[in-house]
Every structure is written in structure tokens, then in C-alpha cells.
Structure 1
Amino acid sequence: MEHTVTTLPTARQSGCPFSPPKELIEAREQSPISRYSFPDGHQGWLVTGYDLVRSVLADSRFSSRKELMRHHPLVDYGDIEVPPAPPGEFLLMDEPQHSRYRKPLVGRFTVRRMRLLTERVEQVTAEHLDAMEQAGPSVDLVTAFAKPIPSVIICELLGVPYEDRGSFQENIDTFLGGEAADDDLIAAYIATQQYLAQLVAAKRANPTDDLLSDLTDSDLTDEELQGMALILLSAGFDTTANMLALGTFALLRNPEQLAALRADPTLTDGAVEELLRYLTVAKQFVRVALEDVELGGRTVKAGSTVILSYNTANRDPERFTDPHALDLRRQEGGHLAFGHGIHQCLGQQLARVEMRVAFPALLDRFPTLRLAVPADEVALRPETADIFGVKSLPVTWDV
């Protein structure tokens, strides 16, 4: 019997902030693929099983093109015509346009190149730990630690002047946070676009030693560079910032796992991968079928919108043993936190370097780190946010 989901849940379970909404878990238990009724009446699909999510991400018969995604999972926008993605915003494009923008970047985000950044990440992390120590013993870990580290690093990579970092970070927060009024969201997006247009023009006129300046020596237009910079800045800042804060929250809520990591630094790499799987801050993505496709015993018709639930895929018991447990010694790899296929996250190696440095450094500097408020008072980002996380994380330690 075909399983149907009529409302995409928007609330986490009480007392379980790290688990997907229980309705999504129940949907996966019923079937790895369910019918989904969109608010505008479109009958699409919700894919919750690991194998099926991975197969869709690797299948060119499912499109990422923005102009095809007219059925919002939560909002009925009526007959509004959705335009194609602006030049350079390659996450919402298919081949060959996607490769035109991604290919010049791939060699700049390799494992080797990102590891060369380790020393700089260590310096930035130490600077913010010093500032925390001076400001403490109580701080908001989000503003004192989680946001600044990836923000500084991605801005330096792209050549964003340090003095501009604050306003850029604030605008990114506004249009990705899931809570801003429409007018504020649009204003923040426009302000970011205007800033990036000025930045690209400045790099063309006076190139410096950074990625964006390097890209000006290509056939890419200013508008294309602006779109690429927006993708890199947004993804390079928001996802890692939320992983650092939410990951710390998860460790503090799992004291046995935290103690194991403190006692054995060789667990760090595995701990990062397990936190990525367990938290899956990039919760879901959407694809559109370009032709009829057989998927999990169902026929997904051409034009159907498919919601891919990354967080339930990464909690699929058919793929991961005891999937709802945080286990830093887990041996099962292959999580989908960075996606899969041609759109797999370009900056994943940078994110790994930042987390492999930041988590151990934080725990080493503050051996008695703990929440400064009851766990159920920690403010979570709403499910409507593109990236899940905490809005603030009050912590304290013994002096």
C-alpha cells in the first residue's frame, strides 16, 4: 500500500533536538518513499531511505534546476513563475552549466590544499578561544566561537576584507536563518548581492592573493563571479558554523562520548564524521524528475517534485547500526551529510579541517565546559531554516 505524507513536519521532538521530526522517522519506517501532497496541490514524493536518496542524487534524470522547482514543500506560492538561477549559482543548475562554474573551483578545494590551511585554522581558533577565556566564564558559543572561525577562513580564502566580515555575516544570517520577515530577507539578499558586485569589481581592478582574484583571470563575467561568490560564502560560513555549535551541544548532551573524545584524540576524525551523520544540518534538498523514473517500486512521473530527506537517510537502520545513537567509534562511513553525486558539497574538506581543529581545541582549553542553561532552554533554529542549528548556546566553565 502506498504511504502518503500530507504535511512536512516543522518541529523537532521534545527532548530530542538532534533527531529528525518523528513524523519523518515514521514515514521512513512505513516506506523509504512516500507520496507527498504539496501545499499548492502538486502530488510529489518524499524520499526518506538512504539507498533511494543516494540513487536520486546520482541520477541525471533528476534535475536541480531552480526554474523547475515550483512546488515549495511548505508554502503555496500560487502561479508565480520561478526564474532560472542567476549566473554563477551552480547549486541550482544541471550539466553543462553546473560544470562551467564548479570545474574552476574543484582544484582549489582538494584535500591537500585544505590541509595546508590547518595552521591558519589553528591560529584563528586559538585567537577566539583566547577571547572566550578573557570574556568568560560564560559566553554564547555561537557568537564567540562557532560563527567567527568559518567566517574568517572563508572570507580570507575569497578575499573579503576583514572589516566587512560583520555585515556580511549578519546578512547571511538573515536570509538563511528561517525567521526573517520577507522584507528583511529580501533586503539582506540585495545588500549581499550589491556588496559582492562591488567586491568583484575591486578584485578585477586590483587583484590580491585570493580565490576570487584568481577567478577574475578567466572568461567568467562579473555577474557569474558574483553568483559563485555568494554560493561559496554562504555555504562556507553557515553550515560549518551550525555544525560547530550544534556539535558541541550534542557532545555536552552525550557525556560518555565527550569523555571518550577527551581521552583519545585519535577519535577526532571519526568523531567529526559521526557528528556530520548524526546531526545532518543540511536537512533536505529537492529534485525534479525530467522523465518517468522507477524509484523504490514507484513510478515518479516526469515533472514530479521529489523531496530528499538527508536527515532520515542518515538515520536509516538499514544502513547504520543503532542510527539514533551518537557513537564516535562508529565504523560505518558513507553518510550523506555533504550530499552525493555531481552536487556533493565542494567545501567538504574545508569544513572537515575546521571541525577537526576546532572541537579538540575547544575541549582542551575548557575541560569543564558545560551548558549554562537547562538543555531544553537552548534556542533552536526553526525547521524552516535551510540549515538546522542553534540560535545561541550559552556555555560556562570553571575558572
Structure 2
Amino acid sequence: MTSTVEPVGESLAGLPRFPMARAAGCPFDPPPTAVTKQKEAALSRVGLWDGSTPWMVTRYAEQRALLADPRVSADINRPGYPLQTPLPPGGGSASFILMDDPEHARLRRMVTAPFAIKRVEALRPAVQTIVDELIDDMLAGPKPVDLVDAFALPVPSLVICELLGVPYGDHDFFQDNSQIVIKRDTEPEQRVAAQRALLGYLDELMGEKIAAPADDLLSGLAERVKAGELTRSEAAQMGVLLLIAGHETTANMIALGTLALLEHPGQLALLRDSDDPKLVASAVEELLRYLNIVHNGRRRVALEDIEIGGELIRAGEGLIMANDVANRDPDAFPEPDRLDIERDARHHVAFGFGVHQCLGQPLARLELQVVYSTLYRRIPTLRLAADLDQIPFKHDGSVYGVYELPVTW
């Protein structure tokens, strides 16, 4: 069967295809075409798989302005929304991240408390234990080892399972189906089947939490279902979102961040040899800026005419915030192509901006801080067990990273 999503980088009616191809040998850098477009203008037209030609927003200031603008919608079902893939019959996902206020705010508030900074910080000892035990297992086992399979994927999966109340023993099921959902070239039928499998799984779990609540996030949603504040379907959908986002993004940052540091040994040594938590936190922010694993941009559609960046965006026109290149905007980050873990990069847009910015960012930051302050200190001779050009990068997904990362010591 022929895929409905065309390859990365192909042109459409003279416009560059989005998402764009990265340069061979430069896996950490944004696509060269996007960098060129950023130099030319804040906004430019691109072509999508379905023949639409939305605006690509490449510059930092314009991205933040539009992400905070109430005249811009995140509703995937609005005409003109720049779709990543075809919508299934009946419309798009019911996930609150693809809704506008007030419904977005109503649903988001129901899961905000567990991700509050103080609540997340209380998890640090438990996350540290998970990280140390996984490193113990690696050190006791054979080498080389695939860091993705042995460490990067289990860390956030164990954490989010504990937080949500999902049995970690089911990790193969939800990890496999998550991969199908987020791959850009998955056939529509396969994607719908994977989404339904995950939704059915979370719906069954929700039923168990309704009958016998525990001290976890899903049980909190179950109580709202019983109170009539949520439907069971809405609660299950929220569970799917939190489960996928809670392990995929951080897992890729752990592996890709480690690879970037191994390719920048001076920065790795600076981080490894320091016991300053402020430097560790700074390294996390800089790696989030430098790598930017949200691969397909943040998608929006204009509700009204908007003048910005020397262009007029018409109501109903799609917008793609190319966050990877915005985080390399020299007006926001001097020497943007240099990895500098001592840089103050906290104003990056890796987590988005505005009311839709990432709900789980405090948890992601904590996990990355624990990982980056522990892994290289405990395995100081960690190194790649393959050449960089042999590493399989995720050029085919909406989340960027590596499929495997063979390492030894």
C-alpha cells in the first residue's frame, strides 16, 4: 500500500517540503533549508503532504508572539490546520493539547497538580533510585549495550508508570504502540489501530481505578469521572496523552543528549566533573535548546488576520512553529550553533510557549537533571561503540532521537 505521507524534503509547487531533511553528518542541527529561510524572513511558505501551503515561522520572537496570541488556534479540527497526517474518520484526537480554551483549560487543570514543581521535586529520590539501579544493571551486564533499551527508555517509562498508576510490566505494549502513533509514515489504518489499542488499554485501567482507586494520577481522574466532571472516555484519552508524552520525549532527550555530549567531550568533562546542581540544570536547558526533539514543529491555525514579521497571515491559514530553528535564532541565542552548557538557555522554546506549553516540563527537567548528573559520573569512560554515521536517527517521526545507541566503557 502506498503511504499518503510523502518523503521529507521534497518540493511542492516550488516550495520546500515540511518537515525538511537534516544535512548528512549534522544530526544535531536544524535542516539547512530552514536555517536559510530564517535568515531570509521570519515567516515563509512551505508545502505539506496534502498540498496545503501553511506559513513556517522560523524566528524566536515571532514564534513566542504567535504561541501566546489568542487569535491563533490549536484545534486540530479547524479548517486550515496544518495536519501532520490524515485525520481518521470522524475527526481528530480528543486530546486537550489539540483544543482551545476554555475546554483546553478545563481539562488541563485536572492534571496540573501532579506536575507542579514542588510535587515533582519530591520525586527526586525515587528517580535517583531508578537511575542508579538501571546503571547497576548495565555495569553488571555484558557490553557494549544499547543505551536506549537498557537505560534511556526504562527511566522515564518507570517514572511515568509510577506517577500514572500504569503497570510497568505492560511497557512493551505501550511503547510499541506509541512508536506506531508517532511515526510520520505510519499508514492511517495502523495509526488508528494503535490509538484504539492504547485507548482501550487506558479505558480498562480507568475502570479498575474507578472500582478500586489508589494514590496515582489515573485514580484522581477516576474520581472526577465518578463526580461527573469527566467522561470515562475523556479520562482514558488524557491517560493516553500523558503516557505517550511522559516516556517518549524524555527517553529521546536522554539518548540524544548523551550522544551530543559524547561528540563534545569538553562539555561532557565539564558536566561530569562538576557537583554544582546549577551547572547540571544549565546543561539540561542548553541541551533542550540545542537538540529540540519536537521534530514536526508546533501546529496552529489563524482565527483572524494577523500582521507579524512583515507578513499578513489570513484567517484560516495554517502556521508551523519550527521550534528547532527558533532555538538556533542568533537574535535570541548568541553563537546558537555552539553547545555551551554554561549558557543561560532557560528562555528556549523546546517546551513551547503560552497556554499550551508542555504540562510535564518540571518532570522532564528533573529526570534529565538526575540522569545527566549521574550517568557520566558513574561511568566516566562511557563512549560510543559505533561510528556516528552508523547511529540510526529518527528522521521519520514527530519526536526526534535515535533508535539505538550502542555504548561501552
Could you state the TM-score of these two structures normalised by the residue count of structure 1?
0.93
Q: Does 1:58 align with 2:68?
A: yes
Shift of residue 216 of structure 1?
1.6
Does the CA contact (< 8 Å) of 1:152 and 1:162 recur in 2?
A: yes
Quick one: which amino acid aligns to residue 209 of structure 1?
A: D
Q: Does 1:137 align with 2:150?
A: no
Deviations for 1:269-290, whole angstroms, at most 9, x for unmatched residues?
Answer: 1000000000010131110000
Residue ranges of structure 1 left out of the alignment (5+ in a row): none
- In the alignment, what sits opposite 1:83? 91
Shift of residue 181 of structure 1?
4.2
Secondary structure of 1:105's partner? Answer: coil
Secondary structure of 1:307's partner? Answer: strand
- Aligned ranges for residues 1-399 of structure 1 at < 5 Å? 5-68=15-78, 72=82, 83-86=91-94, 89-178=95-184, 180-218=186-224, 219-266=229-276, 267-283=279-295, 284-382=297-395, 384-397=396-409
Secondary structure of 2:251's partner? Answer: helix
Secondary structure of 1:395's partner? Answer: strand
Shift of residue 193 of structure 1?
1.1
Q: 1:263 to 1:282 in 2, by over 3 A?
A: same
2: CA distance, partners of 1:189 / 1:69: 23
Q: 1:37 to 1:182 in 2, by over 3 A?
A: closer
Deviations for 1:62-111, whole angstroms, at most 9, x for unmatched residues?
Answer: 10001026565676x5x98772532xx10100011101110122222111
2: CA distance, partners of 1:41 / 1:239: 29
Does the CA contact (< 8 Å) of 1:32 and 1:47 recur in 2?
A: yes
2: CA distance, partners of 1:231 / 1:69: 23
Residue ranges of structure 2 left out of the alignment (5+ in a row): 1-13
Does the CA contact (< 8 Å) of 1:8 and 1:74 recur in 2?
A: no
Shift of residue 174 of structure 1?
2.1
Give the percent of matched residue pairs that are identical in Structure 1 and Structure 2: 43
1: CA distance, partners of 2:38 / 2:302: 21
Shift of residue 376 of structure 1?
1.0
2: CA distance, partners of 1:355 / 1:317: 26
Does the CA contact (< 8 Å) of 2:76 and 2:83 recur in 1?
A: no
Secondary structure of 2:372's partner? Answer: helix
Q: 1:265 to 1:82 in 2, by over 3 A?
A: farther
1: CA distance, partners of 2:71 / 2:235: 28
Quick one: which amino acid aligns to residue 389 of structure 1?
A: G
2: CA distance, partners of 1:207 / 1:157: 14
Q: 1:74 to 1:169 in 2, by over 3 A?
A: closer
The Cα RMSD (Å) is: 1.8
Could you state the TM-score of these two structures normalised by the residue count of structure 2?
0.91
2: CA distance, partners of 1:333 / 1:359: 17
Shift of residue 44 of structure 1?
2.3
Q: 1:178 to 1:395 in 2, by over 3 A?
A: farther
2: CA distance, partners of 1:278 / 1:358: 18
Quick one: which amino acid aligns to residue 406 of structure 2?
A: P
Secondary structure of 2:246's partner? Answer: helix
Q: 1:330 to 1:5 in 2, by over 3 A?
A: farther
Shift of residue 370 of structure 1?
0.4
- In the alignment, what sits opposite 2:9? none
Secondary structure of 2:271's partner? Answer: helix
Does the CA contact (< 8 Å) of 1:146 and 1:241 recur in 2?
A: yes
Secondary structure of 1:91's partner? Answer: helix
